[in-house]
Amino acid sequence: MIAQADETQNGYLFEVMGGQTAFGKMESLRDYEKSIQANYAAVGIPVKVVQSFPATPSLRVRFLKHLTKQSIGLSFSHSGSGGRIHYADYSGSATVDYTLSNNSFSLVFRTLNLGNSRFRIYQFDQLNLKKSVYNLEETFKIWEESTSDELSVESLSYCFEPGLELETTIWKYFNLGLYVSADIILHANSFHLPGNKDAILQFGNRQELTPDWIEFNAGIKLIVISL
């Protein structure tokens, strides 16, 4: 039975959502890792990947207009990860640190699927415009000498993110909930230098570095209701 109290809340919702984001697939970035390893191996430095895009905390905020069983609104979210390639011996070390930062602006559509006086289950779909920035810092040390180099590239992608939410009322104007979702890239530009879309990062046999991952998200949310 659908809760009548929820159906009549034709007001505004402000949501703060925090959780974990894990990255799936990610073939292009992992191929790039292998290319960096191969370049070092070619000059006799056996570097290894010591960390590669682990799950990390993520944050999003949403502002929704609640219309009976549906809601529509806007969202901003941030996620990121990174990794390290490294080798060290008595004479020095070689390190490549890299970070991936994603900021998304989204249109949100949410529908009440099932509910009672205590719990509600929603399905939501988001259309995301995502800017991804990939930064690399390479540091090479031999005895007391040290050199470093940096590279930053960016990309714009269009994504579809379906998800589910479980929500309960903890006070008249505050709800608490859980959410899960999968952010799927539909189309993306190759990574390029900032401000120059023609300066595309290529590696190996002229392979372009491209966003191709899926973000799996899970976490909790706090909802403030304005009637």
pLDDT tens-digit map of 21-68 = 999 989 999 999 999 999 999 999 999 999 999 999 999 999 999 887
Q: Read off the pLDDT of each residue in 116-129 and give the average, rounded to a whole number.
A: 92
In three-state secondary structure terms, 27 is helix
Q: How far apart (Å, rounded) are the C-alpha atoms in residues 49 and 192? A: 24
pLDDT band at 79 (very low <50, low <70, confident <90, very high): very high
Each residue's pLDDT tens digit, 129-187: 999 999 999 999 999 899 999 999 999 999 999 999 999 988 878 889 999 999 999 99
Domain 4-226 class, CATH top level: mainly beta
pLDDT of residue 11: 84
pTM: 0.89
pLDDT of residue 15: 93
Q: How far apart (Å, rounded) are the C-alpha atoms in residues 32 and 125? A: 32
Amino acid 112 reads L
pLDDT band at 4 (very low <50, low <70, confident <90, very high): very low
